[in-house]
């Protein structure tokens, strides 16, 4: 019974691969014919631990399409949402179905790095753009010439906070990072810039991804007596970390928290309690960004969905904007190569500030802000106080 | 020196918490010989009830704790009467499949109702922070856990050893047929015990939100810890799981503190060593029933 199943599964896989190849072949030979609609296959984690990422991106895209209408360059934009639960196998299946059955013109979303990587070969074969709206490991855009990213890379924020820390009187740092690819990216890029500037890493702890209790790790940090702790934990664990940080009295011992902004994600920040006050992070977006455009964006998002947008929401908002702009530039032509060409070098004003797509790497170039958690009108916000302009991804393979 | 004491304190608190969470499972698995992998779901239910009462309805934390116990016990007894009792006589595989299915359903249900992000219970200021006793940092919340769980353990031991109900339960476990022949209502005793175990899990769930984090995946994430406590402790009494919880709690905290690179493995290494040394657990009964 089991053997038979595997067999038919293999066959169906093979069939779908042939179909992918055929679609790809056709797309290359036959010029794209005028269709009435453009389909965007959105693959997001809507269930599971990463679901808040998926929710935010989906909301932001809905908001954008309400504001800007659902037609661009004479074509109706249609979004097909698939849930992958942040499991790469499911991402791959979803991408296959979208490409083969639904014949989408874009695949987009991708909550975590492994998901974005799983879809990369499919984007290459089908020659359609893959717009990464969340995953943050540097290598992603190198895996296919059809990948464009509108979120961020961990190298961007981690190198910047390393530079900032050294220049602002933080000499000794203990690090606490989750033991998986983004955590290691954050740690390595931080260390590289921090030690180059003369800082010293006195203690280095990697916590398991499914970590029940930070207490022993935090006690170790406390006993190492650093000036600050550099922290990267996946979004959902930030709250637990900050609570235990305060419980253990590290704030009173004068040990600051610094890191890339994931730990103080706007989505969860307000529930973390006053212990987070004074945490300094480097990140691409804060809901408190003072531009008029952002104020309008936050107000509209709050009105539509009842909570504050976080950096994932703004990445989704910019992702769909990029798709719209690319279609405008090609005049509605959905040829993948032309769309990618049209996306390269795009520049626009986003709620997070001025951003652009690097024509070389297809990765995002954006301002990185240094922010401090403060209380504004009784709510906790990341308030920006310094800006590093037009930061490229520094984590690309050295050429 | 103070570091050792602080770690010991944290370890004891963590162990106590594990015990309250897992002792209900020790009862169902060990005493009733029923594999209940859905145990964590009752803990989660208690945690979420407490969260809703405190955060949304403004109850004081200490008033919400008993209700976490009661509601988890009520859910427990309802499920025991309607579903579980049909499976007492079935094979262990059936029980595993049934309860793991129940676990997945609970995860999906909570995810649907409350959303998937982690929730926190707003604590009174008196429970926040740490104070120093001769340089040893004592977390207020962890101290409260030790007090509550310590009292519970003593209470449980007294009930089991000294009361009529305790002796009925022990009789029902040792030989259900003879016990019912002597006029003990065995199903009733089991149902009550099951509900009590679920209630304890619910209380544990409410207490653990602050330390372990509470989200819809709680039953899956901590299932392995509960099972370790029961297998290492053996299941003939509650002293076994209690000592096992303390040992694992202290071992886990100390391991993460002193050898952070090996940290997550310490608890499993301890389990393997203990089980090789004593395959029936620290206090397992050697004679098969």
For residues A27 and A148, state if they share a domain: yes
Residue A87 in contact with residue A274, Cβ under 8 Å? no
Residues of A in contact with B263 (CB under 8 A): 207-208, 216-217
User: CB A239 to CB B261 under 8 A?
Assistant: no
- Is A55 within a domain? yes
- Is A396 within a domain? no
Of the residues B213, B215, B262, the best mutation for testing chain A's interface (the one with the most A CB atoms within 10 Å of its CB) is B213
Select from A51, A212, A271 the Cβ nearest to the Cβ of B116. Answer: A51
Beta bridge partners of A205: A176
For residues A187 and A265, state if they share a domain: yes
Residues in B lying within 8 Å of A, measured between beta carbons: 3, 6-7, 10, 14, 111, 115-118, 120, 128-130, 137, 139, 141, 210-213, 215, 217, 221-222, 225, 252-257, 260-261, 263-264
For residues A192 and A84, state if they share a domain: no
Residues of A in contact with B120 (CB under 8 A): 239, 243, 271, 273
- Is A399 within a domain? no
Domains held by chain A: number? 2
* More confident of the two residues A161 and B134: A161
- Is A248 within a domain? yes
For residues A24 and A138, state if they share a domain: yes
Residue A321 in contact with residue A350, Cβ under 8 Å? yes
Q: What is the dihedral of CA A119, A122, A124, A126, to 10 degrees?
A: -140
Select from B14, B120, B212 the Cβ nearest to the Cβ of A239. Answer: B120
Q: With a cut of 80, say whether residue B244 has pLDDT above it.
A: yes
pLDDT of res. A35: 58
Q: Please provide the distance, in angstroms rounded to a whole number, between the alpha carbons at the two ends of chain B.
A: 47
Residues of B in contact with A208 (CB under 8 A): 263-264
For residues A314 and A264, state if they share a domain: no
pLDDT of res. B75: 93
For residues A101 and A209, state if they share a domain: no
For residues A181 and A251, state if they share a domain: yes
For residues A231 and A122, state if they share a domain: no
User: What's the alpha-carbon Rg for chain B, to the nearest Å?
Assistant: 19
For residues A315 and A260, state if they share a domain: no
For residues A272 and A327, state if they share a domain: no
For residues A99 and A181, state if they share a domain: no
Range of the domain at A35: 2-152+293-362
Burial class (CB in 10 A: 0-12, 13-18, 19+), B273: exposed
Burial annotation B232-265 (CB, 10 A radius, 16+ → b, else e): bbbbbbbbbbbbbbbbbbbbbbbbbbeebeebbe
Span B168-184, average pLDDT: 84
* CA angle, residues A347, A351, A357, in degrees to nearest 5: 25
User: CB B137 to CB A244 under 8 A?
Assistant: no
Q: With a cut of 90, say whether residue A49 has pLDDT above it.
A: no
User: CB A216 to CB B215 under 8 A?
Assistant: no
- Is A53 within a domain? yes
User: CB A213 to CB B253 under 8 A?
Assistant: yes
For residues A37 and A19, state if they share a domain: yes
What backbone phi and psi angles, to 5 degrees, belong to B36? -110, 90
* Residue written as token pair 């609570």: A243
The CATH number linked to A159 is 3.40.50.2300
**Residues of chain B above pLDDT 90, percent:** 21
pLDDT tens-digit profile of A208-227?
A: 776 667 888 888 888 888 99
pLDDT tens-digit profile of A70-113?
A: 888 888 999 999 998 888 899 999 999 999 999 999 999 998 88
The span from the CA of A362 to the CA of A344, in Å, is 6
Give the nearest chain B residue to A251 (CA atoms).
B129
**Residues of chain A above pLDDT 90, percent:** 43
Interface of A with B in 56-95 (CB under 8 A): none
């Amino acid at each position: 019974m089991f053997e038979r199943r595997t067999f038919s599964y293999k066959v169906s896989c093979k069939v779908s691969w042939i179909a992918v190849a055929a679609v790809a072949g056709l797309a290359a030979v036959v010029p794209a014919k005028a269709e009435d609609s453009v389909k965007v296959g959105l693959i997001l984690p809507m269930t599971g631990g990463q679901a808040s990422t998926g929710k935010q991106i989906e909301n932001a895209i809905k908001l954008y399409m309400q504001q800007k209408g659902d037609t661009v360059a004479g074509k109706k934009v249609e979004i097909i949402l698939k849930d992958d639960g942040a499991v790469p196998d499911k991402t791959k299946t979803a991408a296959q179905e979208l490409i083969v059955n639904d014949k989408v013109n874009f695949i987009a979303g991708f909550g975590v790095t492994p998901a974005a990587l799983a879809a990369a070969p499919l984007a290459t074969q089908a020659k359609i753009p893959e717009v990464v709206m969340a995953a943050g490991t540097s290598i992603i855009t190198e895996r296919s010439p059809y990948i464009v990213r509108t979120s961020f890379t961990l190298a961007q924020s981690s190198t910047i906070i390393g530079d900032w820390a050294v220049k602002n009187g933080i000499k000794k740092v203990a690090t606490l990072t989750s033991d998986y690819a983004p955590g290691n990216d954050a740690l390595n890029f931080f260390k590289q810039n921090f030690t180059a500037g003369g800082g010293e890493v006195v203690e280095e702890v990697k916590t398991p991804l499914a970590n029940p209790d930070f207490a022993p790790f935090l006690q170790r940090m406390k006993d190492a007596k650093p000036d600050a702790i550099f922290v990267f934990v996946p979004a959902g664990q930030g709250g637990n970390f900050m609570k235990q940080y305060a419980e253990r009295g590290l704030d009173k011992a004068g040990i600051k928290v610094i890191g890339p902004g994931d730990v103080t994600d706007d989505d969860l920040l307000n529930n973390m309690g006053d212990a987070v006050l004074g945490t300094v992070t480097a990140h691409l977006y804060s809901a408190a960004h003072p531009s008029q455009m952002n104020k309008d964006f936050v107000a509209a998002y709050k009105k539509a969905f009842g909570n504050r947008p976080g950096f994932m929401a703004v990445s989704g908002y910019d992702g769909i904007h990029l798709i719209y702009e690319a279609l405008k530039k090609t005049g509605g032509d959905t040829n993948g190569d032309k769309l990618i060409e049209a996306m390269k070098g795009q520049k626009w004003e986003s709620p997070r500030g001025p951003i652009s797509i690097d024509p070389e790497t297809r990765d995002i170039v954006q301002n990185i802000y240094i922010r401090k958690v403060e209380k504004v009108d009784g709510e906790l916000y990341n308030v920006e106080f310094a800006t590093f302009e037009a930061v490229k991804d520094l984590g690309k393979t050295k050429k | 020196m103070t570091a050792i004491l602080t770690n010991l304190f944290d370890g004891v608190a963590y162990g106590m918490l594990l015990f309250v969470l897992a002792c209900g499972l020790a009862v169902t698995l060990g005493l009733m010989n029923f594999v209940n992998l859905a145990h964590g779901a009752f803990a989660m239910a208690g945690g979420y009830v407490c969260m809703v009462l405190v955060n949304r309805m403004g109850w004081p934390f200490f008033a919400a704790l008993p209700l976490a116990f009661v509601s988890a016990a009520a859910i427990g007894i309802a499920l025991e009467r309607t579903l579980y009792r049909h499976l007492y006589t079935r094979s262990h595989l059936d029980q595993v499949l049934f309860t793991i299915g129940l676990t997945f359903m609970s995860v999906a249900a909570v995810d649907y109702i409350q959303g998937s992000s982690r929730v926190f219970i707003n604590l009174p200021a008196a429970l926040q922070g740490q104070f120093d006793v001769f340089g040893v940092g004592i977390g207020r919340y962890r101290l409260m856990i030790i007090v509550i769980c310590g009292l519970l353990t003593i209470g449980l031991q007294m009930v089991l050893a000294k009361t009529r109900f305790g002796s009925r339960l022990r009789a029902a476990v040792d030989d259900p047929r003879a016990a019912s022949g002597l006029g003990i209502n065995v199903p009733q005793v089991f149902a009550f015990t099951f509900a009590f175990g679920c209630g304890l899990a619910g209380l544990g769930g409410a207490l653990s939100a602050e330390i372990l984090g509470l989200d819809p995946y709680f039953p899956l994430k901590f299932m392995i810890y509960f099972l370790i406590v029961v297998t290492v402790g053996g299941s003939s009494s509650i002293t076994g799981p209690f000592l096992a919880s303390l040992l694992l709690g202290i071992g886990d905290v100390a391991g993460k503190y002193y050898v952070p690179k090996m940290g997550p493995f310490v608890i499993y290494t301890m389990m393997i060593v203990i089980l090789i040394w004593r395959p029936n657990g620290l206090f397992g009964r050697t004679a098969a029933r």
